[in-house]
Amino acid sequence: MSGRPGSVLFACLDADTLGGIQQVTHTVAQGLAERGYDVHVLGLHRARSPFRYVERPAYRRHVIHRRPVGPLSPAGRLRERLAAGRLLRTLGPGFAVLTSPGVVPRLAGLLPARLLPVGQYHGSYEHARGSWHLGAIRRHYGALERAVFLSEDDAWLFSEHALLPNTWAIPNPLPGWPPRTAALTGRRVLGVGRLEGVKRFDRLISAFAGALRALSGAEGASGAASPGDGWELWLIGEGAEVERLRAHARACGVEDRVVFRGASSPAEMGREYLAGSVIGLSSEHEGLPLVLGEAASYGVPPVAFDVSGGVRSLVLDGRSGLLAPPGDVPALAAALAGLMGSERERRRLGAAARARVEAFRPERVLDRWEELFTQVTR
228-283 confidence digits (pLDDT tens): 788 999 999 888 899 999 999 999 999 999 999 988 877 788 999 999 999 999 99
CA angle 37, 152, 131 (to 5 degrees): 95
CA 243 to centroid of chain Cα atoms: 25
CA distances from 319 to 7, 148, 288, 352 (A): 41, 27, 18, 7
CA distances from 58 to 27, 61, 90, 178, 329 (A): 11, 10, 17, 22, 44
Which residues, 6 or more positions from 358, have their beta carbon under 8 angstroms from its beta carbon?
Answer: 364
Statement: residue 148 has pLDDT above 50: yes
Going along the chain from its start, the domains and CATH numbers come out as: 7-173+361-377 (3.40.50.2000), 188-359 (3.40.50.2000)
For residues 166 and 319, give the distance between their C-alpha atoms in angstroms, rounded to a whole number: 32
Statement: residue 183 has pLDDT above 70: yes
Mean pLDDT of 336-363: 95
291-322 confidence digits (pLDDT tens): 999 999 999 999 999 998 889 989 999 999 99
* pTM more than 0.85: no
CA distances from 290 to 115, 226, 313, 336 (A): 29, 33, 12, 20
